Amino acid sequence: MFIENMMTDYQNTQGDEGKRYEEFVNIAVHELKTPVSVLKAYLQMISRQLQLENQVSYMNIVEKMDLQLDKLLSLIADLQEGIHLNSEDFFCLMNDFDVNDSIKICCESTRAANPHCVLEYELDQGCPLIKGDHDRIEQVIHNLISNAIKYSGRDAKVVVKSLFAENNVVVSVLDNGPGIPADQQEKIFQQFYRVKGTANRASGLGLGLFICRDIINKHQGSIGVKSAEGTGSEFWFSLPVRVVYTHSF
């Protein structure tokens, strides 16, 4: 609730006051991130030493501590990103890039961190290059995949697809999770909103999908979800292709 109030206060500020508020949050985030990053480094050193000594029981404790630090770093990053998106200084660096390459990169890095999950991709090789900020689009893809795994649990099966249709490149992330009730699907892209009944199962500020929506909006694209309770979910976004040309092989 404290962070929600802080974000609301920031959105209500204007001009120089808003700029000072943003600077304060950025400094606070930096001050929070530094000690957490140092703690992670010390934990990694301890973990390596415990591995050498084959101290399995203590290694499990260290791994749990490291996981909690990762969650804290993720919360800090979401807070900073939420402030940044509302800033007048936020912009996307537009270049031509291959969304299929971005999907592969996101899937491969996520597999390494989640070996218990089944993560596949099905790519439309006819997708043209698109103009956009590939780092930001990969941030969206990462977020959608991470959400799919987080809410699906250890038996998660996630499929990422690309499709070129009607002068748009469409990326979709399908999961086998619990699904989202119809009356909540329009709300999940709102700031701080989380699906009812999931708050105790998955941590977070409820900023991830809000951030995704703003990034896609800045690319003049669309984002949405198709889901039903008990049947999994399909999160998707589409990006317009202004000049259509295919890859050179």
pLDDT in tens, 16-29: 565 666 676 667 77
Q: Does the residue 246 lie in any domain?
A: no
Higher-confidence residue: 103 or 156? Answer: 103
Last residue of a domain, one of 39, 55, 85: 85
Q: Does the residue 58 lie in any domain?
A: yes
79 and 146 housed in the same domain: no
> H or E stretch including 139?
helix 134-152
233 and 121 housed in the same domain: yes
Instruction: State pTM to two decimals.
Output: 0.69
pLDDT of amino acid 21: 60
107 and 74 housed in the same domain: no
For residue 94, CA distances in Å to 20, 40, 185, 218 come to 28, 34, 30, 11
Q: In this model, does residue 150 exceed pLDDT 90?
A: no
pLDDT of amino acid 19: 64
117 and 164 housed in the same domain: yes
pLDDT of amino acid 248: 39
pLDDT of amino acid 200: 46
> H or E stretch including 117?
none
Judged by average pLDDT, the poorest of 9-13, 90-94, 153-157, 166-170 is 9-13
Using a 10 angstrom Cβ sphere, with 0-12 exposed, 13-18 middle and 19 or more buried, the burial of residue 222 is: middle
Q: Which of 217, 191, 222 is nearest to 204 (CA)?
A: 191
Higher-confidence residue: 185 or 239? Answer: 239
73 and 36 housed in the same domain: yes
Q: Does the residue 48 lie in any domain?
A: yes
Count of structural domains, the chain: 2
223 and 143 housed in the same domain: yes
pLDDT of amino acid 175: 95
Judged by average pLDDT, the poorest of 2-11, 34-43, 99-108, 203-212 is 2-11
Q: Does the residue 24 lie in any domain?
A: yes
Q: Does the residue 245 lie in any domain?
A: no
Last residue of a domain, one of 57, 85, 113: 85
* Res. 148 pLDDT band, cuts 50 70 90: very high
pLDDT of amino acid 69: 82
Query: Which tens digit of pLDDT belongs to each residue from 192-243?
Result: 677 765 544 555 556 789 889 989 998 999 999 999 888 899 999 999 997 4
* Res. 249 pLDDT band, cuts 50 70 90: very low
Q: In this model, does residue 244 exceed pLDDT 50?
A: no
Residues for the chain: how many in total?
249
Q: Does the residue 156 lie in any domain?
A: yes
Q: In this model, does residue 78 exceed pLDDT 60?
A: yes
74 and 17 housed in the same domain: yes
Are 81 and 207 in contact by the 8 Å Cβ rule? The answer is yes
31 and 113 housed in the same domain: no
Find residue 226's DSSP bridge partners.
234
105 and 209 housed in the same domain: yes
Using a 10 angstrom Cβ sphere, with 0-12 exposed, 13-18 middle and 19 or more buried, the burial of residue 239 is: buried
pLDDT of amino acid 2: 45
Last residue of a domain, one of 65, 85, 105: 85
136 and 99 housed in the same domain: yes
Q: What is the mean pLDDT of the chain?
A: 80
Give the domain range for residue 7: 2-85
CATH number at residue 183: 3.30.565.10
Q: Does the residue 249 lie in any domain?
A: no
115 and 222 housed in the same domain: yes
Q: Does the residue 90 lie in any domain?
A: no
176 and 144 housed in the same domain: yes
Q: What percent of the chain has pLDDT over 90?
A: 33
CA distance 241 to 114: 33
CB < 8 Å & 24+ apart, contacts of 190-198: 191/7, 191/82, 192/4, 192/7, 198/151
